[in-house]
Structure 1
Amino acid sequence: MSALEINKVFKDYGKVRVLKDINISIDSGEFLILVGPSGCGKSTLMNAIAGLDDITAGEIRIGGDDVTHRSPKDRDIAMVFQSYALYPSMSVRENIAFGLEMRKVAKTERDQEVERVAKMLQIEHLLDRKPAQLSGGQRQRVAMGRALARKPKIYLFDEPLSNLDAKLRVEMRTEIKKLHQRLGTTIVYVTHDQIEAMTLADRIAVMKDGVVLQLDSPQNIYDNPVNMFVAGFMGSPAMNFIKAPLVKLDQGYGVSLTNQAGDTYALPVPQAKQGSLDGWLNKEVILGLRPEQITHVMPHRQSEPFCHTLPCRVEVAEPTGADTLIEIFFNGQEVDARIEPRSQAPVGQVMELMLDMSKAVLFNPETQDRLA
């Protein structure tokens, strides 16, 4: 039995349709992340799951029960908000215990649960403080503690880390990951941060304009995006999109790339990715290559069938410490490459770069859908 089933869900605000035929099913213990840009419908979908927003059509089931028309308190969910939503006049202990008190849980049991959750989140020393005396990270832990004390069927996290600074966001991300691994809870998590999505999720639903474009594992979404939006949204820096003519090679197809010096190279794409490309021969397609697929020459990989070495002039270099991002040009378009810092040529100089075409993807330039 699925922990959560969303079947043919639509949501209209007047004449505006903000959710369009959403179908998602997740199992007990799974970590699902809804990701997409502002206005894509992910928070509306989260509110619909929580019962904070009615849906126009469709069905929502939690633990096999139809909760489509139930109020939030009858759905057996716990929610952690972006704003923490703590009661300022209550202590941390009282905030965590509040939901249990409303459910008429005995005081002895409430106290035990507060102690258990506080120990798990390492906030025992904060139990007698008020929210105003806490840092942002501590407040977020308290908000999580209040949800965890409930032991519901599903936990809902609505952009819980967006108010934290970058360092604290990384730390809290790790804490949430550990928490999920330790408890095996079912979590639905909303974020616009694709790094959060990649690092936390078992599966990701990428949304745009009220539609789920792709629902899959993080790695499969990264390696096999269904269209250019998904490919460009997931990954930092984003995937390179290079307009290139499709050419016929001795075996199969390839794409034609020209560097800054005007030298042209025909690079094959794997047979497994070629699909139905016959109609695109000698026409322009969009070649998708991630920056890490364009890197410094690695001698041990030069014999691999889809690794090719090309000379390119370095236009811009951005050191990041662990690696360096450089800007080059193919077919007159800016392209990002990720290289090992010590292998970098000076800006304005030519260096040999290795292109790994084994994970290259091709897109239709008109529809932006995946071709191969």
Structure 2
Amino acid sequence: MSALEIQHVCKDFGSTQVLKDVSLAIDSGEFLILVGPSGCGKSTLMNAIAGLEPVTSGEIHIGGEEITWRTPAERDIAMVFQSYALYPSMTVRQNIAFGLEMRKVPKAEREAAVERVADLLQISNLLERKPSQLSGGQRQRVAMGRALAREPQIYLFDEPLSNLDAKLRVEMRTEIKKLHQRLGTTIVYVTHDQIEAMTLADCIAVMRDGRILQLGSPDEIYNDPVDIFVAGFMGSPSMNFIAATLEGEAGDYRLRVATPGADDLVLPWPISRETDALADQVGRSLVLGLRPEHFTEEDARLGERAEGTPLAATVSVAEPTGADILLRLPLGEGEITARVDPHCRVTPGERIALRVDMRRAVLFDAASERRLA
């Protein structure tokens, strides 16, 4: 039985359709992340699950029961908001216990629940403080503690880390991951940050314009994107998209990349990656997708043992990040980004020899933007 099942949900605001036939299901204990750009409908979907927004059509089930038209209080969910939503006049202890008190939970049970979540989140020393005396990270822990005290079927997190600075976001992300691993709770989490999505999720739903474009594991979303949007949205730096023309025949397909003012670049398409769909694409303009890490610096010491297709280009910009160096290189009619070893010694204007791993490349239809291979 699914912990959460959404069936053909639509949501209209006047003449604007914000959610368009959304369906998904997750099992108990799964961590689902709804990710997408601002305005894609992910927060509206979260509010529909919580009962804060009535749906126009479709059904929502929690624990096998239809709850589409139930009030938020009747849904057995707990929500952690972006703005913390703490009562400023209450202490941390009172904030955590408030929801339990409203449900008439006996005082002894309330106090035990407060102590339990305070110990779990390492905020026992903050219980008598007011929210104004806490840092942003501490306030977020209190908001999480208030949700955890409830022990509902599903926890909903609506961009809970967006108000924190970069370092604290990373720390809180780790804490949420540990919390999920320890408790095995079912979580639905909204974010526009694809790094949060990749690091936290068991399952990711990539949304755009009110629809779910792809639902899958982080590995599936990253390595097997269904279209150009998903491929470009997931990954930092994002995937390189290169205009190319398919040539050849089965067993000997090649991609020709036109390069203004220079010879065309011809890249062989791996036989292991051929699909039946490619036969109809010969002579057509396609889009080749290569991630920055699909490029490696050519090492002369390796000689013929070097793997990948050779590629030479002039460096436009070199951006050291510490762990690696990002190179901007002209390729075809635009520029690409290559991620190379931090010990790579190269400066702008220099020519560099690279290898590109075509076994990890993806190919898209230029018109529909759907993946072909």
Answer whether TM exceeds 0.5 for this pair: yes
> How big is each residue's C-alpha offset from its partner over 1:107-148, in whole Å with a ceiling of 9 and x where there is no partner?
111111101100000000000000000000000000000000
Structure-2 residue corresponding to 1:290:
291
Asked whether 1:333 is paired with 2:334, we answer yes
The alpha carbon displacement at 1:258 in A equals 5.6
Equivalent residues in 2 for 1:232-311 (5 A)? 232-248=232-248, 251-257=251-257, 262-275=262-275, 276-297=277-298, 303=305, 307-311=308-312
In structure 2, the residue corresponding to 1:277 is in which secondary structure?
A: helix
Task: Find the aligned partners of 1:120 and 1:310 in 2 and give their Cα distance.
Answer: 52
Q: Mean alpha-carbon deviation: is it higher for 237-246 or for 343-352?
A: 343-352
Structure-1 residue corresponding to 2:159:
159
The alpha carbon displacement at 1:301 in A equals 10
Structure-2 residue corresponding to 1:210:
210
The alpha carbon displacement at 1:303 in A equals 4.5
Asked whether 1:147 is paired with 2:147, we answer yes
Structure-2 residue corresponding to 1:324:
325
In structure 2, the residue corresponding to 1:341 is in which secondary structure?
A: coil
In structure 1, the residue corresponding to 2:142 is in which secondary structure?
A: helix
Task: Find the aligned partners of 1:207 and 1:119 in 2 and give their Cα distance.
Answer: 36
Structure-2 residue corresponding to 1:11:
11
Task: Find the aligned partners of 1:82 and 1:331 in 2 and give their Cα distance.
Answer: 43
Q: Aligned Cα RMSD in Å?
A: 1.6
Which amino acid is the alignment partner of residue 253 of structure 2? Y
Q: Mean alpha-carbon deviation: is it higher for 107-116 or for 133-142?
A: 107-116
Which amino acid is the alignment partner of residue 188 of structure 2? V
The answer to whether the 8 Å contact 2:244/2:258 transfers is no
Asked whether 1:23 is paired with 2:23, we answer yes
> How big is each residue's C-alpha offset from its partner over 1:42-74, in whole Å with a ceiling of 9 and x where there is no partner?
000000000001001111000001000100000
The alpha carbon displacement at 1:159 in A equals 0.2
Which amino acid is the alignment partner of residue 200 of structure 1? L
In structure 1, the residue corresponding to 2:343 is in which secondary structure?
A: helix
Q: Mean alpha-carbon deviation: is it higher for 293-302 or for 283-292?
A: 293-302
Which amino acid is the alignment partner of residue 136 of structure 1? G
Task: Find the aligned partners of 1:236 and 1:155 in 2 and give their Cα distance.
Answer: 28
Q: Structure 1 residues 274, 247: CA separation in 2 closer, same or farther (over 3 Å shift)?
A: same
Q: Structure 1 residues 296, 188: CA separation in 2 closer, same or farther (over 3 Å shift)?
A: same
> How big is each residue's C-alpha offset from its partner over 1:134-167, in whole Å with a ceiling of 9 and x where there is no partner?
0000000000000000000000000000000000
The alpha carbon displacement at 1:297 in A equals 2.4
Which amino acid is the alignment partner of residue 171 of structure 1? E
Asked whether 1:354 is paired with 2:360, we answer no
> How big is each residue's C-alpha offset from its partner over 1:216-274, in whole Å with a ceiling of 9 and x where there is no partner?
00111100111111011000001000001112168231212366872434222233433
TM-score (norm 1): 0.96
Unaligned segments of structure 1, at least 5 residues:
none
Q: Structure 1 residues 200, 152: CA separation in 2 closer, same or farther (over 3 Å shift)?
A: same
The answer to whether the 8 Å contact 1:302/1:308 transfers is no
The alpha carbon displacement at 1:347 in A equals 1.3
> How big is each residue's C-alpha offset from its partner over 1:319-357, in whole Å with a ceiling of 9 and x where there is no partner?
101100001111131010001122232211111111011
How many residue pairs get matched? 371
Unaligned segments of structure 2, at least 5 residues:
none
TM-score (norm 2): 0.96
Asked whether 1:92 is paired with 2:92, we answer yes
Task: Find the aligned partners of 2:334 and 2:250 in 1 and give their Cα distance.
Answer: 27
> How big is each residue's C-alpha offset from its partner over 1:299-334, in whole Å with a ceiling of 9 and x where there is no partner?
6696577x1122211111011011000011111310
Asked whether 1:47 is paired with 2:47, we answer yes
Q: Structure 1 residues 277, 249: CA separation in 2 closer, same or farther (over 3 Å shift)?
A: closer
Task: Find the aligned partners of 2:271 and 2:21 in 1 and give their Cα distance.
Answer: 34
Task: Find the aligned partners of 2:166 and 2:294 in 1 and give their Cα distance.
Answer: 27
Task: Find the aligned partners of 2:304 and 2:72 in 1 and give their Cα distance.
Answer: 58
The answer to whether the 8 Å contact 1:249/1:268 transfers is no
> How big is each residue's C-alpha offset from its partner over 1:180-232, in whole Å with a ceiling of 9 and x where there is no partner?
00000000000000000000000100000000000000111100111111011
Which amino acid is the alignment partner of residue 312 of structure 2? P
In structure 1, the residue corresponding to 2:326 is in which secondary structure?
A: strand
In structure 2, the residue corresponding to 1:353 is in which secondary structure?
A: strand
Q: Percent identity?
A: 63
Structure-2 residue corresponding to 1:131:
131
Structure-1 residue corresponding to 2:367:
366
The answer to whether the 8 Å contact 1:260/1:329 transfers is no
The answer to whether the 8 Å contact 1:88/1:130 transfers is yes
In structure 1, the residue corresponding to 2:155 is in which secondary structure?
A: strand
Structure-1 residue corresponding to 2:172:
172
Structure-1 residue corresponding to 2:122:
122
In structure 2, the residue corresponding to 1:342 is in which secondary structure?
A: coil
Q: Mean alpha-carbon deviation: is it higher for 104-113 or for 272-281?
A: 272-281
Q: Mean alpha-carbon deviation: is it higher for 245-254 or for 287-296?
A: 245-254
